[in-house]
Amino acid sequence: MEDEEETLVRSRTPMYRLYFKGLVTEEATVISAGFGIAICGDKDDLLFDMNRPIHEPAITRLEAEIIALKCGLEEAVSMQIKDISICCDNEQIFELVMGRSMLEQENITMLIRDVQGIRQYLRSSIPVLLTRTQANFAYEFAIEAIIYMPVHVPVQEDMHVQKEFCSICMNDDINADHMFGNELCGHKFCSDCVRSHIEVKLAMSSSVTCPGYKCNSRLSYRLCVNILTPELKEKWEQKIKDDSIPVTNRGYCPNPRCSTLMSETELSGQFGFRQYCVKCNEPFCINCKVPWHSNLSCNQYNRLHPNQTVNDILLMELVNEKRWRQCRKCQHMIELSEGCSSLICRCGHKFCYDCGADTGSCYH
């Protein structure tokens, strides 16, 4: 029996391996960081390698490692690789990728979220913890990325201030210290344009990505905090808090003038079904998701209010017109713009967009 199981595991073993390494060194007051990645075949034959410096200030070794992993997975997807082993020589990263641990740092959380999102495009991506004696191809590439980093010479006081060009506002007379650079992709824009871009992204509740054309590199709050207004800081911090709430655990205040997002598990259970909005303090029923129904049980309230509200009717008309589907697990509305009808909701539930049935239980 054990031999059969071993044979089955081997048959599922990916034919490709991803090695990655991020390094951070500090000499005097200068911090240098870089990463290297290597994608190999089943016999560790090198198929692809890359090394790059990382210019983000005050970066940690863990961040550099995860950035290396993210870039390696992106390259594997672009190479149309379907199955790959993620070779980790760092036990902490291995546990993070496996989903067994989580860190409180917002920047680490966002990077890991990016990694897990990219893994969705692979059929299988199996984390493997390397032993100390096993070779890490990416280590030498990471060393090279740091060694060959360009040396930045401080501008002397008697020299002219360097001027730079922003491709968004087309201003070519911007002081270098007024430019904002995204270290992950190398794009640079003036701080005013980046600030306006962040404001729009937050207003749309979208991920804050680099404003570069077709660039999907994310901007971290820590990297951007110095160019944000107090209002934008507050909005971004609220977005980080909202994003940390699992989809299946989200609840909204039923007060139409409020609609604040809340975590159902964080709401105090001392009042039973009767809870209070954390913002407007209006009472509501956490079971029915409606304003609090005094002297009525949930069943009694539902019997007295069997008909849909005007807003419910308008919503269903829009759903039918746009052919949206609602996830049975988290009730989230989904619109399919293109691609296969077999979907994976952000809560993890798999279902058919054509009929709404669970994946595998229909003929589509």
Q: Which residues are bridge partners to 283 per DSSP?
A: 276
- Residue recorded with tokens 């940390």: 244
Q: Mean pLDDT per 10-residue run, the chain (364 residues)?
A: 42 71 69 81 80 78 89 89 88 87 81 90 88 58 53 44 79 82 82 89 84 83 87 88 77 82 71 81 84 83 71 76 79 78 80 82 76
Cα–Cα–Cα angle for 185, 191, 192, rounded to 5 degrees:
130
pLDDT of residue 133: 52
Could you give the C-alpha distances from 6 to 1, 11, 13, 42, 174, in angstroms and in order?
9, 9, 11, 17, 63
Could you give the C-alpha distances from 188 to 114, 176, 263, 343, in angstroms and in order?
22, 10, 37, 36
CA–CA dist 120, 342 (Å, integer):
13
CA–CA dist 202, 209 (Å, integer):
11
pLDDT of residue 345: 81
| DSSP-derived pairing of the beta strands 174-175 and 179-181 | unpaired
pLDDT of residue 110: 86
CA–CA dist 356, 361 (Å, integer):
10
DSSP 51-83: EEEE--TT--HHHHHHHHHHHHHHHHHHTT--E
pLDDT of residue 73: 92
For 97, the token pair is 């990728």
Please count the other Cβ atoms lying within 10 Å of the Cβ belonging to residue 78: 10
Number of H helices, E strands in the chain: 10, 18
pLDDT of residue 323: 82
Whole-prediction pTM value? 0.43
Catalytic-residue membership of 340: yes
For 174, the token pair is 């911007």
Cβ contact 55:121 at 8 Å: no
For 115-131, the pLDDT digits (tens) are 998 999 888 999 988 76
Looking at domain 16-148, which of 3.40.50.300, 3.30.530.20, 3.30.1360.100, 3.30.420.10 is its CATH number?
3.30.420.10
Q: State the catalytic residue, choosing from 258, 280, 285, 340.
A: 340
Cβ contact 111:144 at 8 Å: no
Cβ contact 115:107 at 8 Å: no
Nearest to 66 by CA among 102, 105, 114: 114
Fold of 163-243: Herpes Virus-1 (3.30.40)
Burial 140-171 (b: 16+ CB within 10 A, else e): ebbbbbbeebeeeeeeeeeeeeeebebeeeee
Where are the chain's structural domains? 16-148, 163-243, 250-304, 310-352
pLDDT of residue 144: 59
